[in-house]
């Protein structure tokens, strides 16, 4: 199980703080961590050598209000309203 004291979770000033795990911990505890993401809507950042590499999020989670301007067809119509 993950016992890294550097793991951070919770809320800070209304902002979600991700759980950070090493790539090795992710590999060894994939099922447990996947359940935390899928069932509890947690977010996990996977790092290697102290550098973040990937983020594991639930399919149900919001995109945190970010818009993807790379594909104009995906933008909501009300973005252009005045």
Pick the CATH number of 1-58 from 3.40.1360.10, 3.50.50.60, 3.40.1620.10, 3.30.565.10: 3.40.1620.10
Element (H, E) at 27: helix 23-28
pLDDT tens column, 37-53: 999 889 999 999 999 99
Residue among 53, 8, 9 nearest 27 (CA): 53
Q: What is the pTM of this model?
A: 0.57
Q: Which residues of the chain have pLDDT under 50?
A: 1-15
pLDDT for residue 23 = 96
Element (H, E) at 32: helix 30-40
Residue 60 has what DSSP assignment?
T
User: Parallel, antiparallel, or unpaired for β 15-17 and 19-22?
Assistant: unpaired
């Amino acid at each position: 199980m993950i016992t890294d004291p550097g793991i951070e979770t919770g809320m800070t000033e209304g902002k979600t703080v991700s759980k950070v795990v090493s790539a090795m911990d992710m590999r060894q505890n994939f099922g447990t961590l996947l359940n935390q993401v899928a069932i509890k809507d947690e977010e996990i950042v996977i790092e290697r050598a102290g550098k973040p590499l990937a983020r594991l999020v639930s399919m149900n989670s919001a995109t945190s209000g970010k818009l993807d301007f790379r594909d104009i067809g995906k933008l909501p119509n009300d973005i252009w309203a005045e």
